[in-house]
Structure 1
């Protein structure tokens, strides 16, 4: 049985996207790419909203650019090997392999899919994740907190969210960021 994991790089003050639309809160260097690629070995599927999918499409061809260092190609290949589901009412076609479009996010269907999966499933993007958080189907939260204060934007957690969390693990990056792994406590 897989787990549904919500993970994104965030600012220190809790924003997944800054007021200018940026999400560059951490220097994603070789150490970070290697760490994230290792994390992806347990993932079977990425669940994306349209904007997150369009951001991540970079990885579909990044391995082809000879100017990038080898760790970029390694990460790209790891990303390409994972199935992707894009939730969008407007996206006509996908531009990556192993990808399908769903027109609506149905929490019960996602929960059944994750439960039936042998691998973990990630939900990426604060708007799509907000639907899963409100439905109570997220099994783990894995924010990567960067050493930046954004001052506003789109929060990692939707407004009004109240959760008690148990810290399961952490990893400190040399660049100043911290990966945190929490699970909601069930009472």
Structure 2
């Protein structure tokens, strides 16, 4: 069984989107700052990354076997028109489940059930969780092994935080640091049982 991780492109002040769902052009500018083309496994889009970002993001894509997302993201993307761009099975945690299909499972029993279903689909690969409330629920439940931050040098001043309010935890690391154009990629291990961060 692989690790469970959460990750996102986040502003220096900790937001994954700005007020009114804005700021994505700034948060994802690093997807277009290089010369190395990296296509999504489904081929629906591609990025132009620096060599460091391409190696980092390519390894993340290769390592990921399933995803857990919230219904808000699923609806915002229109269910990615039938399949997540990474081409992996995606579990949607929701109070309004739809019918499961070959690309999506809809779970309403809580974050523990969603991660367990994702792990079955992922096999030996990692399970990725989207940020916000999903990440917070999983961390509070002791389910997240690592946090992967794509830290972007911008202050959004408000919006949707990477982590919703919850318990405090210490992190171990960084396990890796990759400096690139318009982003620094960081990986940390979550330390459970450690004193709460103040």
Q: Shorter-chain TM-score category?
A: 0.7 to 0.9
Aligned position for 2:140: 134
**2:115 aligned with 1:110:** yes
Structure 2 unaligned blocks of 5 or more: 33-47
Query: Displacement of 1:37 after TM fit?
Result: 3.6
The number of residues matched between the two structures is: 170
Q: Please, what TM-score do these two structures have when normalized by structure 1?
A: 0.76
Local SS of the residue matching 2:140:
helix
**2:149 aligned with 1:143:** yes
Shift in CA distance, 38/54, structure 1 to aligned 2, threshold 3 Å: farther
What RMSD in Å do the two structures reach over aligned CA positions? 3.0
Q: Please, what TM-score do these two structures have when normalized by structure 2?
A: 0.72
Whose helix proportion is higher, 1 or 2?
1
Alignment of structure 1 residues 32-181 onto 2, 5 Å: 34=54, 35-56=56-77, 76=85, 79-80=86-87, 82-92=88-98, 97-107=102-112, 110=115, 114=119, 117-166=123-172, 167-174=174-181, 176-181=182-187
CA distance in 1, matches of 2:152, 2:6: 16
The match for 2:49 among 31, 37, 42 is 31
The answer to whether the Cα contact below 8 Å between 1:126 and 1:157 also exists between their aligned partners in 2 is: yes
Structure 1 unaligned blocks of 5 or more: 63-74
Query: Displacement of 1:131 after TM fit?
Result: 0.8
Aligned position for 1:69: none
CA distance in 2, matches of 1:37, 1:91: 31
Whose strand proportion is higher, 1 or 2?
2
Query: Displacement of 1:169 after TM fit?
Result: 0.5
Local SS of the residue matching 2:144:
coil
Tell me: higher relative CO, structure 1 or 2? Use CA pairs within 8 A at least 6 residues apart: 1
